[in-house]
Chains A and B, each alone.
Chain A
Amino acid sequence: MVLVLAIGDLHIPHRAPDLPAKFKSMLVPGKIQHIICTGNLCIKEVHDYLKSLCPSLHITRGEYDEDSRYPETKTITIGQFKLGLCHGHQVVPWGDLDSLAMLQRQLDVDILVSGHTHQFKAYKHEAGVVINPGSATGAYSSITYDVNPSFVLMDIDGLRVVVYVYELIDGEVKVDKIDFKKTSTATV
């Protein structure tokens, strides 16, 4: 019963002033055990805010991040799952599933979380799951039109992960849920 928040591409303060209020009201400390952030926060204040939600914070470097010490990619193990984290601007073509799958095999993870496209995506292929949480602030993107603020919450429970997608559409929070089950042989 581990709750993992996947969030990214906030672009604060350059492209957006802050998270949407409805999102902020939902993100309260104490419920979430891990936060994985794809990058492009961009400033330290955002980092501190996320740290206040949960002390376990993992970030990879996006191209606009002011802190250059973040790594390019990161691997985390939570429960039975291995999660991989990368901002995604390094993977060309941006947002291409096959390239991301290649990166996933490289990192040898079950779930790969990447961003940069500012669009929510969740793919399942035989090697695992690729999740793109989109942009939590709905920041302007050069490759996507009509960006909706979104983020992802994963509920990892044993061999099963439930992915809740929170999107802000027309001022209302919409929630969707996807179930993924990992076959135990896949880790080998």
Chain B
Amino acid sequence: MLHTSGELSPDLANHRRFQDLRGVQWRIDLGILPSSSSSSSSVDDFRRVTANSRRSYAALRRRLLINPHISKDERNFRDLVIDNPLSQNPDSTWRRFFHKAELEKMVDQDLQRLYPEHGNYFQTTGCQGVLRRILLLWCIRHPNYGYRQGMHELLAPLLYVLQADLERLSEVRKLYQHYFTDNFDGLSFNDTDLSYKSDLEKGEDNIGIQKDEMNTSYLHDLDPKIQTIISFCDAYGAEGELGIVVSEKFMEHDAYSMFDALMNGDKGAVAMANFFSHSPSPHNGLPPVIEASSALYRLLSIIDLSLYTHLVELGVEPQYFALRWFRVLFGREFALHDLLVIWDEIFSLDNKKLRGNSENESEVTFRVLNSSRGAFISALAVSMILYLRSSLLATENATSCLQRLLNFPADVDLGKLIKKAKSLMDLAIDAINSISEPIHGGGLFEPGKPRAHGHGHSRSLSSDVTAAMSSRALVPESYWEEKWRNMNKEDDRKQAGLSKQVSLTKQVQNRINGWSEKVRMRLSKVTRSPLRRNLVDDLARLEEKNEKSVSGNGGGEENSSVYSDPVSPQGLSNNIINNNNDHENETDRSSVASNSSVNGDNPDLGLDLDSSPSPSITSVRYSSAEDVGSPLPVSDTPEEDLSFKEVKNENIIVKSVSNLRDRRPLAGKFQWLWMFSKTGPESSLDKSKPATSYVTEINQKNAVPSSSTADETTKPEAADHHNLKDLAQSMLENIEVIESVENLSRNTAEALNELRKISNILAEM
């Protein structure tokens, strides 16, 4: 028993006339039946159109399903030289026969593997026969496409909804049995026939007629939907049986016309057949699938630049996964019932070409998706990618990315996905219509923003990119410098009794420009508990290391001349920072054995972080930068991960920002962030505890070192989203505090905006 369950979004439900008759609705959407919006479409129109399409299919079938053994008499007239079995002549019926046999072989191969989980419908011989015939006929009709794998998966749901319609119809029939006037005897006679009856019978007839009249009058009282269903299925309406809109006999015909309309795009822009052709389109020399995939990536780059660059750098070409997505219209990514909902949405959108004037055609870059429907398809694809964002960013090789993309998780909240896709649609339309421009890799982007705020923000995103780029560089150093100084003063005071040996010291390549980006990414990965644990640990370790080095525990060497890195041109104005770095440099890079009780995982955190090239090494070094990254993705090798990130951040970083001044503020930012998470563990991971002002923060920090050991041991097991949310909240509070300051400079305001965005991201997690 098939069921058509699947929630339709509420706004969709309003204007769809046949919610529960998906077959009819899709036929309307695909253009086979007259659209319900046109006022003139009556039941008769529907029936007539249905009948016509069926007739054409029947004729087609008769013509094309040839049997070379048809009556000898006909064949004698044909020239045998042409028409013999071995003939290579294209006109020969035998040749067509062999061609059909070949196609049939290919189609059968695919059909056998179609939807095994719904095998009790799809694997029956009847259904398979229908599918086979439809596919064969379509392929013979369109020899330039031939049969490609995947066409059967486009056809199968169409047949399924028709069958579901039938079942719905039978339900309705059962409920409203006497309204279905299939029974000729029950048909009410009109007055002219009455006169034929003799007077004798008049008595009984009156009663019978009265009953019929009652029935017909009740018909109008019925729910209009039921009414429509009944009149659709009336065997005596317009065009008789051929016009019964939901009919079992003509399911094959209907499925064929739906499939044909879907593949041809019904004179619109999105023709599925395009995705199956390999020939490059004359417009831009690319096969349509490649074109569509690049449209997809273009849209992704607009919405989420970091994810886009991540994927591009890994070498994940869009067509590796998009081919399957497009060709089967996501049929392989979702279960059948979910797929029906998605196709509801896709089909409900108009397929007319956008910007229909011919002079504008040349400007359209991605013609193959140039309609609302196409825009929605690409938006849906992007929203699916975004759904996997965290795991995609976490992986560092292309294979696992592809694995993730190709095995879309089964338990997806469809409503959210669809809503998100709708919100991206405007952008998608822009992307499709835009003349291709180079996508600048520079600039730090706010990946989380569009997701959190949806439609309203997306328009302003592109302008935000450039703003983001500049703002980061212009955070006033004084602000952060002060914070840093304050913190370090506290550090100095809390020395003794540190049993923890933070022996992990790395020379920290300074990626400050990408720092907030990195932190964000790291935190985004903190959705997994082991990562979270490590993040907190690392930050804790950093804290200790700082303290230790500051206190001079490590080795005791005090020289500040051990720098191997080039000093920034501006010179080091912040001595404290320098000191810190000195000590960090000295301590050798041994494993984190001492912290392993807390850390749990790989003790060899002796990451060769120096190996990652840093063209812009500055004097400000943060060992924690690498700490944070080191035990990260548990599934992948941390080293590559990290160095990759370094490299990537390098690429992202605007190299022009290379002076200490700019780095320090971000360094301070990091400290500030780190502080938050640091204070987390001690207060049972309740990161809301951090005070709403920096002063109190610092005071708390005083308490931190003493309890740092406790921190390590009290493994933040329960680290979960709450922490981040609290962190985000606290960040927001702090931002508000800062903003309350009267005269904020522009730079400060911008910096605060960045911080706000960060907090939003965190809140989202």
Contact = CB atoms under 8 A, between A and B. Distances in A.
B69 interface: yes
* A interface majority secondary structure: strand
Interface in A163-188: 164, 166, 173-177, 179
B85 A155 contact: yes
B86 A166 contact: yes
A28 B87 CA distance: 10
Contacts of A175: 80-81, 84, 87
B440 interface: no
Interface string A85-128: 00000000000000000000000000000000000000000000
B464 to A, nearest CB: 61
A61 to B, nearest CB: 27
A25 B86 CA distance: 9
Contact of A25 (B80, B84, B88, B98): B88
A26 B80 contact: no
A178 to B, nearest CB: 11
A28 B99 CA distance: 14
B72 A153 contact: no
Interface residues of A, number: 19
Contacts of A3: 85
B98 A31 contact: yes
A153 B69 contact: no
Contacts of A179: 72
Interface string B65-108: 00001001000000011001111100000000010000000000
Interface in A6-32: 25-28, 30-31
Contacts of B87: 26, 175
Nearest to A155: B85
A182 to B, nearest CB: 16
A157 interface: yes
Interface in B51-74: 69, 72
Most chain A beta-carbon contacts within 10 A, residue among B81, B84, B87, B88: B84
Contact of B86 (A1, A27, A157, A174): A27
A49 to B, nearest CB: 16
Contacts of B72: 179
Given A25-B88, A26-B86, A166-B86, A177 B81 contact: no
B81 A164 contact: no
A179 B69 CA distance: 12
Nearest to B83: A175
Contacts of B88: 25-26, 28
Contacts of A30: 98
Interface string B713-742: 000000000000000000000000000000
Nearest to A164: B84
Contacts of B69: 1, 157
Nearest to B76: A177
B84 A166 contact: yes
Contacts of A1: 69
A153 B86 contact: yes
A25 B88 CA distance: 8
Most chain B beta-carbon contacts within 10 A, residue among A28, A164, A174, A176: A164
Contacts, number: 34
A92 to B, nearest CB: 34
Interface string B284-303: 00000000000000000000
Interface string B141-158: 000000000000000000
* B interface majority secondary structure: loop
A152 to B, nearest CB: 11
A26 B69 CA distance: 21
A174 to B, nearest CB: 7
A173 B79 CA distance: 12
A27 B86 CA distance: 7
A175 B84 CA distance: 8
Interface string A44-70: 000000000000000000000000000
B32 to A, nearest CB: 36
Nearest to A177: B80
B71 to A, nearest CB: 12
Interface in A123-179: 153, 155, 157, 164, 166, 173-177, 179
Contacts of B84: 153, 164, 166, 175, 177
Contacts of A176: 80
Interface in B576-635: none
A94 B85 CA distance: 31
Nearest to A157: B69
Contacts of A157: 69
Contacts of A177: 80, 84
A79 to B, nearest CB: 14
A173 B81 contact: yes
Most chain A beta-carbon contacts within 10 A, residue among B69, B85, B88, B98: B85
A164 B68 CA distance: 14
Most chain A beta-carbon contacts within 10 A, residue among B80, B88, B98: B80
A31 B81 contact: no
Interface in B87-138: 87-88, 98
Given A31-B98, A179-B72, A153 B85 contact: yes
Given A157-B69, A179-B72, A31 B86 contact: yes
B98 A174 contact: no
A177 B81 CA distance: 10
Contacts of B98: 30-31
A31 B84 CA distance: 12
A120 B72 CA distance: 24
A174 B87 CA distance: 11
B400 to A, nearest CB: 42
A174 B79 CA distance: 10
A31 B85 contact: yes
Contacts of B80: 164, 175-177
A27 B84 CA distance: 12
A177 B83 CA distance: 11
A176 to B, nearest CB: 7
B667 to A, nearest CB: 72
A38 B85 CA distance: 21
A82 B454 CA distance: 76
A174 B81 contact: yes
A113 to B, nearest CB: 18
Contacts of A28: 86, 88
A3 B84 CA distance: 11
A25 B84 CA distance: 14
A155 B72 CA distance: 14
Contacts of A174: 81
Contacts of B81: 173-175
Contacts of A27: 86
B65 to A, nearest CB: 15
A30 B102 CA distance: 10
A169 B138 CA distance: 41
Contacts of B86: 26-28, 31, 153, 164, 166
Contacts of A25: 88
A1 B98 CA distance: 11
Interface string B190-226: 0000000000000000000000000000000000000
B89 to A, nearest CB: 10
Nearest to A5: B86
Nearest to A26: B86
Contacts of B85: 3, 31, 153, 155, 164
Interface string B260-283: 000000000000000000000000
Nearest to B86: A26
B591 to A, nearest CB: 65
A28 B88 CA distance: 9
14 contacts: A25-B88, A26-B87, A27-B86, A28-B86, A31-B85, A153-B85, A157-B69, A164-B84, A174-B81, A175-B84, A175-B87, A177-B80, A177-B84, A179-B72
Given A27-B86, A176-B80, 6 more contacts: A26-B86, A155-B85, A164-B86, A173-B81, A175-B84, A177-B84
Interface of A: 1, 3, 25-28, 30-31, 153, 155, 157, 164, 166, 173-177, 179
